[in-house]
Structure 1
């Protein structure tokens, strides 16, 4: 089975994430996409993150109606901070029959040389890159890089958290089930 790994903080997950994932599953040979909730991205500050189990639950709520999507907590029990190459090595050992690809935005793709063992990542795994505005992919770092033109919305989790703090609506930015849970749990206030 071809599985795309969509890594992220998902703090919180929003419709932009879902649109990208849906576009990629429909325009690639992937059978499933796993939303890999990262407990801590080594390139981002941890202080603004909601607890990883709460973020995982929000992802589960957001994708529950799509059988091609799965929420993954695989990095929760791995050493922190999480490095993509270590997660992939672990997944290959645990699921030797699966073929894994990494899904990322072109902004992250341009930062790839800063990642741990990025040469190994490029050599062993296919990278599915969705282009973001202001981050064109002018040169591919490997032959296994596939560039996709996914629809882009100028939405960020940072903006959504700010809206919540200011007691403003996040309707249409995140799924209704996620809004209800965030509101009931008083997240991001």
Structure 2
């Protein structure tokens, strides 16, 4: 078996302290040995018009993770066909690193509820483990994966910070610096992102 790597997908527009806390918690308090933060160029469920360019979001993830030994930024999806589907990314990673790494997915409870709608979700579950972190939710929702042997619930901190909130409040002139790793704030501020 290769090194256990958790894949934490997101647009990271921008990466914030919530993302970092969850990624680090998974690396430190589960059996995952590394967490790769996979920057998604475009999700089938999100419109692209509010996204910063891929290389800027990669740079912010790099800045946020560079002092964490077990966290890595990943731009693996940048050169894959659009829109990106997780099943294709996993196949690509297996082809490239199959003997070196054993890949698992990291997702919030809210994403698990809709997991049955993902492309080839049964194949994903057959070949990969899923590590789930808690989210605040009024809806108990999907229960079909509740006792699945490959779905692992990790008692990570509940982080309700959102990139959308950060972008909107920054645009409104609020000080959102405390919600970002310091190096990310500096990059975002210098580049004058999300101002208009």
Aligned pairs (5 A) from 1:42-57: 42-57=44-59
TM-score for the superposition, normalised by structure 1: 0.96
Task: Report the equivalent of 1:129.
Answer: 132
Indicate which of 27, 32, 35 corresponds to 1:33.
35
Note the C-alpha offset of 1:138: 4.1
For 2:154 and 2:47, locate their aligned partners in 1 and report how far apart those are by CA, in whole Å: 29
Task: Report the equivalent of 2:20.
Answer: 18
- The runs of 5 or more residues in structure 1 that have no matched partner are none
- The runs of 5 or more residues in structure 2 that have no matched partner are none
For 2:170 and 2:26, locate their aligned partners in 1 and report how far apart those are by CA, in whole Å: 29
Note the C-alpha offset of 1:177: 1.0
For 1:163 and 1:178, locate their aligned partners in 2 and report how far apart those are by CA, in whole Å: 16
For 1:131 and 1:180, locate their aligned partners in 2 and report how far apart those are by CA, in whole Å: 30
Task: Report the equivalent of 2:145.
Answer: 140
Note the C-alpha offset of 1:104: 0.3
For 2:169 and 2:184, locate their aligned partners in 1 and report how far apart those are by CA, in whole Å: 14
Q: Tell whether the 8 Å contact from 2:27 to 2:33 is kept in structure 1 after alignment.
A: yes
Note the C-alpha offset of 1:139: 4.2
Rate the CA distance shift 1:168–1:159 in 2: closer, same or farther, 3 A.
same
Task: Report the equivalent of 2:188.
Answer: 182
Task: Report the equivalent of 1:117.
Answer: 120
SS in 2 for 1:172: helix
Task: Report the equivalent of 2:102.
Answer: 99
For 1:125 and 1:183, locate their aligned partners in 2 and report how far apart those are by CA, in whole Å: 38
Indicate which of 60, 67, 81 corresponds to 1:58.
60
Deviation per residue, 1:37-82 (Å, 9 max, x gap): 0000111111111111110000000111001010000000000011
Note the C-alpha offset of 1:154: 1.9
Q: How many residues align?
A: 189
Note the C-alpha offset of 1:120: 0.5
For 1:80 and 1:139, locate their aligned partners in 2 and report how far apart those are by CA, in whole Å: 29
Deviation per residue, 1:81-111 (Å, 9 max, x gap): 1100100000000001110000000111111
TM-score for the superposition, normalised by structure 2: 0.93
Note the C-alpha offset of 1:31: 1.0
